[in-house]
A and B are shown apart, each in its own frame.
Chain A
Amino acid sequence: MPELRDLYQEVILEHSKAPRNYKALESADHKAEGYNPLCGDRFTVYLEMDGDKIREIGFQGAGCAISKASASMMTQSVKGKTKEEAEKIFHRFHELVTGHSHEDTAELGKLAVFSGVSEFPVRVKCATLAWHTLEAALEGKQEKVSTE
């Protein structure tokens, strides 16, 4: 039986209550909005790129604890990374939360706290919403990203 504490780890709860980089970047040159119609979660991710590198990142929006903490920790993990590196982290993260992680999760660092999500399949969309939004912002897509 999946345990609630596996999902709602202290780090996750803490980030959901006090999200990092929770701001709209006025200097943003990339921006995307993500929406989960199932639960109404809605986030905007702002990027300030330095060539291929994410110099600054911010997000704003409303959502559940999982989606908010995920967005917060995502901003910390991809700041200073290149587009390619960020996409690689997302790939690993996606494997982790869907329970398809075969490799050592060490390279995910703090993001490994989201491993409990794989026991709660309906919450995978919550954990990945900000990441999909980041991906769209990096691609420079203008349309709204939806998890549906």
Chain B
Amino acid sequence: MTAAAAVPIRERVAETSFDVERIRRDFPILQTKVHGHPLVYLDNAATSQKPQSVIDAQVRYYEGENANIHRGVHYLSELATAEFEKARATVRAFVNAARSSEIVFTRGTTESLNLVAQTYGRANLGPGDEVLITAMEHHSNIVPWQMLCEEKGAKLRVAPINDEGELLFADYEKLIGPKTRVVAVGHVSNALGTINPLKDMIAVAHAKGAVVVVDGAQAVPHLKVDVQALDADFYAFSGHKMYGPTGIGVLYGKQALLEAMPPWQGGGDMISSVTFEKTTYNKVPHKFEAGTPDMAGVAGLKAAIEYMNGIGIEKIAAHEHDLLEYATEVIGAIEGVRLIGTAREKAGVLSFVLDEVHPHDIGTILDQQGIAVRTGHHCAQPVMERFGIPATVRASFAAYNTKAEVDALARGIRKVSEVFA
């Protein structure tokens, strides 16, 4: 990129009505000093920070609402149940599912994906069948399918990507055959930031009769997701990457698919009647929610969605897009930096390597300046292999990040070059 192109990008950041300083005040942890420097938190793809409203929602739950749900007739149990189901309705609206019963609460994206593999997958895959994934998947969207394929004698196939980190769509389409039962794809790549053309990917998979499971962990914090417009069969995401608590996540599934699937874990709440001879399972989504769920986590997730809605997801997306373009320009211009993942459509992530300096050394030197980035393979070893590198440095953005923080990162990287000069 040329230096001249930097000017309009800077202007665009200034033009947005987005009040990033006000947003920053909502996140207590951003006041932290690290090694004497203000914290520059650029590890949002690993987990985002939490606004006060999310922290308060969890405290409020324990202070005023705590009781087990779906069982007591007493006041608190009814209150907790009502709040829990209200949160489900909030999640439904957030991803525009048709019904609240299509929203299953899980521990996170990983558990959501494993749930689909172990229920839908086990019931519908046989020897010789195929599961198709892409070369940019997170380990969470590889390993559950590998385990399933091994168990069933099925075959895992992988759609390739180009040097920019974009899916090779024609190859992807060709790989979907009559034996493809499941296509499991990430909406946004955690290591590269690529936004996949999900709607088209789903359409061609459906045309060939495959069911599509989406890993949406890196998409929901950054884009407006509409599961009906996408026509996704399953869509998994985590609360903790979208300003919510850890330990809570969501699996969206189309009602008819969820109803036809066998349950996963057995226990309380997922049954309608139990005798020693036979158990009748509860309706969806409860069929998939065995045991006492993370009710405080659900309260926090609801607060996180309300927080995002309060700012406006489109505004968050626009701010992050400007930030990413600015960072691509500023960091990409540093001598010795090579950006990894240069897709035309990207969200939230800037991955790079620097000359001969190992990302781990870069991470330590940045940390000394208060800058938190992720260094390593980002749970996507096949992606690293595709680009012929052991690891990258990954800066990933959230609503509260600023252009000044990108400048701090740039200074930090120059310091790395000084140390290793």
Chain B residues closer than 8 Å to A38, beta-carbon distance: 376
Contacts A7-B364, A65-B357, A65-B358 given: A39-B419 contact, CB under 8 Å?
Answer: no
Complex contact A40–B419 (CB within 8 A): no
B377, A40: Cβ atoms closer than 8 Å: yes
- In the complex, what residues of B have CB within 8 A of residue A78's CB? none
- B353-365 interface code vs A (CB 8 A; 1 in, 0 out): 0001111110011
Provide the A6-37 mask, 1 if CB < 8 A to any CB of B, else 0.
01100001000100000000000000000000
Tell me the complex Cα distance, A17–B419, Å. Answer: 13
Does any Cβ of B come within 8 Å of A1's Cβ?
yes
Q: Is A89 an interface residue (CB 8 A)?
A: no
Q: Which residues of A contact B35 (CB under 8 A)?
A: 1-2
C-beta contact mask, A65-79 vs B, less than 8 Å → 1, else 0?
110000000000000
A123 close to B (CB within 8 Å)? yes
Q: How far is the CA of A4 from the CA of B36 in the complex (A)?
A: 14
Chain B CB within 8 A of A92 CB? no
Evaluate whether A4 and B368 lie within 8 angstroms (CB atoms) in the complex, with A39-B359, A63-B358 already known.
yes
Cα–Cα, bound, A120→B368 (Å)? 10
User: Is B36 within 8 A of A1, CB to CB?
Assistant: yes
Q: How far is the CA of A77 from the CA of B356 in the complex (A)?
A: 25
- Chain B residue contacts of A39, Cβ below 8 A: 358-360, 375-376, 390-391
Closest A residue to B384 by beta carbon equals A40
Q: Which residue from chain A places its CB closest to the CB of B375 in the assembled complex?
A: A39
Question: Does A42 interact with chain B (Cβ within 8 Å)?
Answer: yes
- Chain A residue at minimal CB-CB distance from B357: A65
User: Within residues 194 to 220 of chain B, which ones have a CB less than 8 A from any CB in chain A?
Assistant: none
Whether the Cβ atoms of B361 and A65 lie closer than 8 Å is yes
Q: Report the separation of the CA atoms of residues A2 and B36 in the bound assembly, to the nearest whole angstrom.
A: 11
Query: Closest CB of chain B to A35's CB: distance in Å?
Result: 11
Contact partners of B376 in chain A: CB under 8 A: 38-40
Query: How far is it, in angstroms, between the C-alpha of A28 and the C-alpha of B160 when the chains are bound?
Result: 39
Asked if A64 is an interface residue, CB under 8 A from chain B, the answer is yes
- B36 & A66 in contact (Cβ 8 Å cutoff): no
A64 engages B360 (CB within 8 Å) = yes
A-chain residues with CB within 8 Å of residue B276 when the two chains form the complex: none
Q: Mark B376-388, 1 if CB is under 8 A from A, else 0.
A: 1100010010000
Q: How near does chain B come to A37, taking the closest CB pair, in angstroms?
A: 8
Expressed in whole angstroms, the minimum distance between the Cβ of B356 and any Cβ of chain A is: 8
Q: In the complex, what distance in Å separates the CA atom of A1 from the CA atom of B36? A: 8
Q: Which residues of B contact A1 (CB under 8 A)?
A: 35-36
Q: Which residue of B lies closest to A7 (CB)?
A: B364
Chain B residue with Cβ nearest A65: B361
In the complex, are the beta carbons of A66 and B390 less than 8 A apart? Answer: no
Q: Is A134 at the interface (CB under 8 A from chain B)?
A: no
> Which residues of chain A come closer than 8 Å to B75, judged between CB atoms?
none
Q: How far is the CA of A104 from the CA of B35 in the complex (A)?
A: 30
Separation of A8 and B362 alpha carbons in the complex (Å): 11
Q: What residue of chain A has the Cβ atom nearest to residue B389's Cβ?
A: A40
Whether A45 sits at the interface, judged by CB under 8 Å, is no
> Is A126 positioned at the interface, with any CB of B under 8 Å from its CB?
yes
CA distance A13 to B421 in the complex (A): 9
- How far is B35's CA from A122's CA once the two chains are assembled, in angstroms? 15
Q: Most B CB atoms within 10 A — which of A4, A62, A63, A122?
A: A4
Known A-B contacts A39-B360, A123-B364; the reply to A62 vs B419 at CB < 8 A is no
Q: What is the minimal beta-carbon distance from A103 to any residue of chain B, in angstroms? A: 28
**A8, A17, A64, A123: most-surrounded residue (chain B CB, <10 A):** A64
Please give, as numbers and ranges, the residues of chain A lying within 8 Å of B36 by CB-CB distance: 1
**Bound CA span A8–B36, Å:** 20
Q: Kindly supply a per-residue 1/0 record for chain A positions 26-60, scoring 1 wherever the CB is within 8 Å of any chain B CB and 0 otherwise.
A: 00000000000011111000000000000000000
A to B CB contacts below 8 Å, 5 in the list? A2-B35, A4-B364, A4-B368, A39-B390, A42-B390
The 5 closest A-B pairs by CB, nearest first: A64-B358, A40-B390, A64-B360, A39-B360, A65-B361
Given A39-B375, A65-B420, 16 more A-B residue pairs with CB atoms under 8 Å apart are A2-B368, A4-B365, A7-B364, A8-B361, A13-B420, A17-B356, A39-B358, A39-B359, A40-B376, A40-B381, A40-B391, A42-B390, A63-B358, A64-B359, A66-B361, A123-B364
